[in-house]
Chains A and B, each alone.
Chain A
Amino acid sequence: MMRAFNAAMIALMLAPIVLVVWMSFTPEAFFRVPLDSFSLRWYREALSYPDFVDAFVLSAKLAALAALMATALSFLAAYGLVRYRLAGRGFLLGFFTSPLVVPAVVFGIAMLQFVNRIGLYNHLVGLLFAHVVVVTPYAIRTLHATLQAVPEEMEWAAMVLGATRLRMLARVTVPLAARGIATAFLFCFLLSFSEVTMTIFMTGPALQTLPVRIYNYLTDRIDPTVAAVSSLVVLVSLCLVFLANLAGAFKRLPR
């Protein structure tokens, strides 16, 4: 009975996603679950719709940059927190992870008003910084745990053997933390790639990420093109989830 209940719950979790993917293969111009005939018609439609293609490129670029920045900055910060007895370490760690408890709506409103004020509205930089803030807590937590597991003796050994701190970081610490770094990067990429709420608030018409574009498309008209685009999003996400799982990401999920 428990097994059946679990199966039902999984069905509930996956139902909307599965249905979107299924629906995307319909040959018809309206939403009826295709049972006997399938077509890639709406994928062709989606890929010839420049707004979606642009949005996809923007989302991928944004996610990559945000993940890169968040991972790099968080690596440095986590290293500082783990290796140095800084006054207020606990406070700093709390500060770096605090965007986690700020609702995306709240941060979205704040960013909307902020980027307008400093003239970064409709500008990638504003969007990038916002995404870095949103994904940083995950990077910090992952990398903090990762670096705590790197024995300090390894670093000392490298430096006694003549490595400066920078060369030691590049040759010893980074390779030893590679798994955690990959995890943090993939996680940040995924989170940025799927971020909707904050982005929808702050983004201008010229810079619509894919989820925002899909949302706007849905409020405008509705045809299976959007299902095809969504399926591509799901595909990308699932590939990255798979990669992240290979890197051991889900063993370190923030709980």
Chain B
Amino acid sequence: MERAGWLFVLPLALVLAAGYVWPLMQAGVNSFHPNTPQGIDLGHWTDANYTKLLDPLYQSILERTLRISLIVSAITAVLAYPVAFFIARLKPKVQPWLILVYVSPWLVNTVVKSFGWSLLLRSNGVINTTLQHLGLIDAPLHLMLNETGVIIALVPGHFMFVLLPLWAAASGLDPNLKWAAGTLGAPPWQIFLRVTLPLTLPSLIAGLVINFTMNMTAFAAPAILGGVRARTVSFLAFEVNLEQLNWPLGGAIAVGLLAFTLAVVWGGQRLAFLAVRSGRTRP
């Protein structure tokens, strides 16, 4: 009986083993070999690729990526709360449609969206020409080819990863709790701080973890809106792998990025777990 079950599971397991586990491990192995002009030197082992990641140039790129990602996640958290609660209070029939509006841009590829943002943000783009036309500014604002442009594009780009879990948590919230708190004399901001926030915190954290890792590894938005002046880790990875063709170093970047992502996901889960517990035991 159980043996037949394995027959069902096996094809996918094999495809994933060959097309997923193996490539990742291959990249990991490559990262411990030196790079030569002729390609990867499989005869020798080295940790030079990893020590190279500590180079100040790479460190500054990593710092910028972290900075951008954190700012985007923070802005998203603040913006997603009101939207999630607004949607959760609508009629149940309307809610999926509005959610659909927020989700569907995610299914349009990021190159097209980043291109759209560049049309808005460039120095002779829609925003600058409009502001200049209205006489509000004299010289165009620098809205892209810097960190600002990347942040502007990433906030809506990864918005739904926070919105969805928050919406689910908000619509699952027992309204009696808030009324109970209200009748006990808590003003609205106290209700939010003491009831709503603790109860939705695990969902917020879960959403932010995904949001943050997506920000860290976004490619098209930083490439198109950040350019070489605001290079992020993924853009660096692109250069190292496809322009310098230094695959051992590229492999090291991949391993580092994967390890970092898994650490964030793991840490986020711990945090969400703790948040659930503290939410329960809060007096």
Contacts and interface: CB of A to CB of B under 8 A. Distances in A.
Contact of A197 (B82, B165, B168, B218): B218
Contact of B261 (A16, A85, A102): A102
A62 interface: no
Given A114-B27, A197-B220, A106 B5 contact: no
A20 B103 contact: no
Given A104-B217, A109-B250, A230-B112, A2 B82 contact: yes
Which one of B20, B102, B129, B155 has the greatest number of beta carbons of chain A within 10 Å? B20
B238 A201 contact: yes
B261 A194 contact: no
A10 B217 contact: no
A221 interface: no
B73 interface: no
Contact of B20 (A18, A99, A103): A99
Given A101-B265, A133-B19, A85 B113 contact: no
Given A6-B86, A13-B159, A129 B19 contact: yes
Interface string A13-37: 1111111100100000001110000
A112 B251 CA distance: 10
A128 to B, nearest CB: 9
A74 B12 contact: yes
A85 B2 CA distance: 7
Nearest to A111: B23
Nearest to A31: B119
B22 to A, nearest CB: 7
Interface in B4-23: 4-9, 11-13, 15-16, 18-20, 22-23
B279 to A, nearest CB: 18
A113 B115 contact: no
Nearest to A139: B12
B165 A255 contact: yes
Interface in B217-240: 217-220, 223-224, 233-234, 237-238
Contacts, number: 261
A154 interface: no
A200 to B, nearest CB: 7
Contacts of A18: 116
Nearest to A134: B20
Interface stretch (B174-182, B183-191, B252-260): B252-260
A202 to B, nearest CB: 9
A197 B219 contact: yes
B99 A211 contact: no
Chain A interface SS verdict (over half): helix
B165 A92 contact: no
A58 to B, nearest CB: 14
A250 B9 contact: no
Contacts of B8: 76-77, 79-80, 83-84
B248 to A, nearest CB: 9
A240 B116 CA distance: 21
Interface string A63-90: 0000001000110110111011111000
A33 B168 CA distance: 38
Contact of A215 (B27, B125, B220, B251): B220
B104 interface: yes
A140 B265 CA distance: 20
A94 to B, nearest CB: 12
B111 A214 contact: yes
A251 B171 CA distance: 14
Contacts of B13: 77, 92, 95-96
20 contacts: A15-B156, A76-B8, A80-B9, A84-B4, A95-B13, A101-B265, A109-B241, A109-B250, A114-B27, A129-B18, A190-B107, A196-B109, A201-B241, A210-B109, A214-B115, A234-B108, A245-B100, A250-B100, A255-B164, A255-B165
What are the 9 closest A-B residue pairs judged by CB atoms, nearest first?
Answer: A16-B116, A84-B5, A80-B8, A103-B217, A114-B23, A194-B109, A129-B19, A80-B9, A77-B12
